[in-house]
Structure 1
Amino acid sequence: MSTDTNTLLKPKSTEQVLDSEQFLKAYRSMRTIRAFEDRISEQFMKGNIPGFLHLYSGQEAVAAGLCLLLNDDDYVISTHRGHGHCIAKGADVVAMMKEIMAKQGGLCDGKGGSMHIADFDKGMLGANAIVGGGPPIIVGAALSAKTLGTDRVGVAFGGDGSSNQGTTFEAMNLAVVLKLPAIFLFENNGYGEGTHARYAVGSKDIASRAQGFGMPAYQVDGTDLFAVYETCREAVAHCRAGKGPVTIEATVPRFKGHFEGDPQAYRGEKEVETLMKEQDCLVMARARAVKEKLVKAKDLDRIDQEVAELIDEATQAALAAPAPEDSELLKNVYSSDY
């Protein structure tokens, strides 16, 4: 991959970049994310989930396409919109459902909730409610990978809002200075809460601005699983080869509000309806794979059914699980090692 920072990189040909097994794995991940988000939306409206929810619906191809290339010991840091990243990285869906419902057996013992899910065994360093809070953490993880002489990579997911944060700028600069295996992946869904990226991003596009720090950068259609995979494959290979950091700006739709219950008065009439009809990454990926005879429709139908059963199982398990005991309140909150 070229490191010429004067040219914005584009993915190579997306002809047959995924084989059947890879596509089925990615499709299962995407379907699981969509079904999970749909279900917790329902449960939130029933009053079974405390706090806020920021759903990932519409952006599934980005998490699935990238995480298909990562190992359990590669690092990921997420955002307040983090369920999709957790699922794509391999976090247990039943334990995630329990966590979001603040129940015993959750990934963080019911203490993290929607915006603070973590699973270190899967390299998932946590969702993060602080906008722009993830990049400095992933720089630390990437520094450890380089210092220890491994080929691990670290990925900081972020939105267009986080791309404007000083913490992000400092992290990107340090990653270049230290030549770290870090990927800054910005999912530009058009809105930082209710402010459009066209107004808030002064440079008008995130990838070109990232080049100013001295790293290669890509723009990619985040609804195209095949293009996402090809772009991320090049970026991951670049990092594993010790060539330093990369930025990827993936343009994606946001099917839901900033949070569940958001009236979305800032969006145009029928905007969401049009996005869901014309830019659904699941529909697009399925149609292409079947048309190109990469997989059979019946195999995807089977995955849909298996995912539906998994989400039902996770929901029932979480609803039945007890809340943490009062005695658990102060456990795993502060370290007692020092």
Structure 2
Amino acid sequence: MQMSRETLRTAYRQMRTIRAFEDAVNRAFSSGEIPGFVHLYSGQEACAVGVCMHLDDHDYIGSTHRGHGHCIAKGCDIDGMMMEIFGKAGGLCGGKGGSMHIADIERGMLGANAIVGGSPPLAVGAALTAKTLGTDRVAVAFTGDGGSNQGTMFEAMNMAVVLKLPVIFVVENNGYAEGTGVDYAIGSRDIASRAAGFGMPAEHIDGLDFFAVYAAMAEALARARGGSGPSFIESRCVRHHGHYCGDPQGYRSKEELQAARANGDPLLHFRARVGASALLEATELDTIDAEVEQQIAAAVVRAREAADPSPSALLTDVYLSY
């Protein structure tokens, strides 16, 4: 699948933005500036960007507790995200949701979700809405390998097939459900084969390869928009950090962690691919790196200086009257 130089630059900028954002959040959390828990997306950037570059604001995604990358790839405002994570009034959810509950309905971002396996039913509901109203919108459910064991996932997949809904299930298999390895927790050792059992197209892809993700998503999207129903993508990737910031990761050796960052980096894979093919110059990518670092640094400063939520806001946004 051929892409223009501008599309490639956009893809790299999105991936680099996610990485820089997560690095900045990691530093701020480690210094005690961010309340609550933080789960970093570093190492999985190619999946979020390869999927979401095909979508627009009218399409939906459901996310996980590790949702910053999905938010950025779907177009959520960087400043609003950073303020939300810092717990500030200017955050996308008024500073009330924090890292694990960022949502932006105007962008089709149905929310990060602290419930393991929580996004598939939400995405199926959004897809049912799209089919009922006769729109060409689609929904994407991002889930981790741990979430793939949940009954919510199985029920959502079955309903999607039965009703032939425009939904795409994307499982980001990073090898660990918190600290439990895939080889132990997945009886079949093959997550995608479960989806095939429900009667939908399912495939495995290299989640470190942006181009593989992009191509797989293009096929799944064509089926969804064309009325052919759901698809399933198992994206095998590498988690660069622990389950959460501060996780000692006693279940991973130092050698594994070093290899994960050296050999399992989608940004390095992308740079090598476009460089070898003379699609983009290294200097172009370096310029993007510098611009993104400035953008994220400025977002951190604004978040630090932003106002805290007013106590009077405590009881707002609790109920919605239809």
Question: TM class by shorter-chain length?
Answer: over 0.9
Aligned AA (1:99):
E
Q: Conserved in 2, the CA contact under 8 Å of 1:18 and 1:226?
A: no
Q: Which of 114, 119, 122 is residue 129 of structure 1 equivalent to?
A: 114
Q: For 2:254, what is the secondary structure of its paired residue? A: coil
Are residues 1:286 and 2:271 paired?
yes
Q: Conserved in 2, the CA contact under 8 Å of 1:17 and 1:226?
A: no
Q: Which residue of 1 aligns with 2:186?
A: 201
Q: How does 1:1-338 map to 2 (within 5 A)?
A: 16-337=1-322
Q: Conserved in 2, the CA contact under 8 Å of 1:22 and 1:68?
A: no
Q: 2:2 & 2:207 partners in 1: Cα distance?
A: 16
Aligned AA (1:62):
C
Q: 1:281 & 1:18 partners in 2: Cα distance?
A: 18
Q: Which residue of 2 aligns with 1:4?
A: none
Deviations along 1:206-255, one digit per CA (max 9) or x if unpaired, are 10111011100010000001111111111111111010000000000000
Q: 2:158 & 2:118 partners in 1: Cα distance?
A: 15
- Distance apart, 1:268 and its partner CA: 2.4
- Distance apart, 1:333 and its partner CA: 1.2
Task: For structure 1, list consecutive stretches of 5 or more residues without a partner in the other structure.
Answer: 1-15
Q: 1:210 & 1:58 partners in 2: Cα distance?
A: 25
Aligned AA (2:307):
P
Q: 1:17 & 1:103 partners in 2: Cα distance?
A: 42
Task: For structure 2, list consecutive stretches of 5 or more residues without a partner in the other structure.
Answer: none
- Distance apart, 1:17 and its partner CA: 3.2
Deviations along 1:239-280, one digit per CA (max 9) or x if unpaired, are 110100000000000000000110100112311111111121
Q: For 1:21, what is the secondary structure of its paired residue? A: helix
Q: 1:40 & 1:200 partners in 2: Cα distance?
A: 30
Q: For 1:127, what is the secondary structure of its paired residue? A: coil
Instruction: Name the % identity.
Output: 60
- Distance apart, 1:19 and its partner CA: 2.3
Q: 1:208 & 1:239 partners in 2: Cα distance?
A: 20
Aligned AA (1:91):
C
Aligned AA (2:268):
V
- Distance apart, 1:305 and its partner CA: 1.2
**Could you tell me the TM-score, scaled by structure 1's length?**
0.94
Moved over 3 A (4+): none
**Could you tell me the TM-score, scaled by structure 2's length?**
0.99
Root-mean-square deviation over aligned CA pairs: 0.8
Q: 1:294 & 1:121 partners in 2: Cα distance?
A: 34
Q: Which residue of 2 aligns with 1:5?
A: none
Q: For 1:270, what is the secondary structure of its paired residue? A: helix
Aligned AA (2:164):
K
